[in-house]
Structure 1
């Protein structure tokens, strides 16, 4: 794959961890730590898309790039779509990679892995999964399951995503990690679609794409990056950075 434009959406809306993007992790705001990991992936320019000037200021103070987007977007995908058109109006990049702003410990290899499925022309969206190693996490509806089958080219073709424990029977269960590589046309199509019935039922945005017939394939990575949603998560992330 050629390079991609990396967009990291960031808002102040978190309630469990107020002002989450600006939470300090060993001297730097969390959003800056995520940008650094995305830059280490070395796949293209990295831009934070935010509706908050304070977040943009923090990113730019660190020497990175941010763009202000509208505050009324219904989803991160809509925010990314606006940001892409603002940052790249000449359409230099045909691929857009969405990295969540609360994964300061994500490995650069995991970011690059989301791009790999787009080597298949029929794939509209690439993403990543990892095998569940904990039955408790596997059965927890907060951990999204990817129901997928080998695509014959070293990755998986996803057939469904669910909060339920699926599929039935013995075998591997895949944990879906919400990092997406979009073909630019696929991102434009996705945000033009209305919310879909299964998307609303499961509260999983990616089902909108599957319901519309868009193909999503996934690379399997070795372990899930820890996302930061609570004060305890933040302390674990700080401890991890201190040990580096």
Structure 2
């Protein structure tokens, strides 16, 4: 066990079959390996995770992940979000004190970012959640894109709000103040996650379709770590081809 102080940090990759835009995405072959295997192999390089598992709703993903050596947990197909899937998987991980929710479709995820999230949770036992964000130039077109989620933080780095709208609105220019693009990776205290999934979707969450707002609306503390890791997710077959090109260029 790498972590001290009674912490046991588990990385979980939620992987579901029924993506509306890309069914069967976790098993889509990229450079000869299933997409989810690339993510799992990157996370195996992490030094702060005591355990790593894949949580899936599908026997095909389960069997493929077992074949490449992963710990796999079969969950219900009825979960509305990956967070709910992870919460169910926790029943099979009784020693876990903290969880890092790693998107199963980011084959270029930086292991150091996962480690930084895990270390932040271990160092601050009262922190409910941690996540990450990329700084953007306020003039970047992504700031206006509702598919790009933005976050603003307090001076100590805690999240104040997440939105699909431009955030903040620059009525006045402020030198050195970037816009932060939220990166969809989360770490949680176990007790907080188990409580979170019992809460109904909150008003702002329903308005923006962002479940992290449920945490803020219920008074949770979310530490936001700035990162230069801009690893792309894979949401379409075309993006899978682009990731394959990036992987080939790296070798």
- TM-score, length-normalised on structure 1? 0.93
1:76 to 2:77 alignment: no
Match of 2:61 in 1: 55
- Aligned-partner Cα distance in 2 for 1:223–1:8: 18
**Which piece of structure 1 moves more, 202-211 or 76-85?**
76-85
- Aligned-partner Cα distance in 2 for 1:223–1:139: 21
Deviations 1:63-92 (A, max 9, x none): 111110011112211110110112x2xx32
Q: CA deviation at 1:241?
A: 1.2
Q: CA RMSD in A?
A: 1.4
- Aligned-partner Cα distance in 2 for 1:44–1:106: 18
- Aligned-partner Cα distance in 1 for 2:46–2:37: 14
1:105 to 2:108 alignment: yes
Q: CA deviation at 1:150?
A: 2.8
Match of 2:189 in 1: 183
- Aligned-partner Cα distance in 2 for 1:143–1:209: 19
Match of 2:161 in 1: 160
Match of 1:242 in 2: 248
C-alpha contact 1:116 1:126 (8 A) present in aligned 2: no
- Aligned-partner Cα distance in 1 for 2:151–2:35: 28
Q: What SS class does the counterpart of residue 160 from structure 2 fall into?
A: strand
Q: CA deviation at 1:3?
A: 4.6
- Aligned-partner Cα distance in 2 for 1:37–1:186: 27
1:140 to 2:140 alignment: no
Q: CA deviation at 1:16?
A: 2.2
C-alpha contact 1:114 1:218 (8 A) present in aligned 2: no
- Aligned-partner Cα distance in 1 for 2:119–2:140: 28
Q: What SS class does the counterpart of residue 55 from structure 1 fall into?
A: helix
Q: What SS class does the counterpart of residue 37 from structure 2 fall into?
A: helix
- Aligned-partner Cα distance in 2 for 1:79–1:15: 17
- Aligned-partner Cα distance in 2 for 1:19–1:176: 26
- Aligned-partner Cα distance in 2 for 1:211–1:187: 15
Match of 1:12 in 2: 17
Q: What SS class does the counterpart of residue 166 from structure 2 fall into?
A: coil
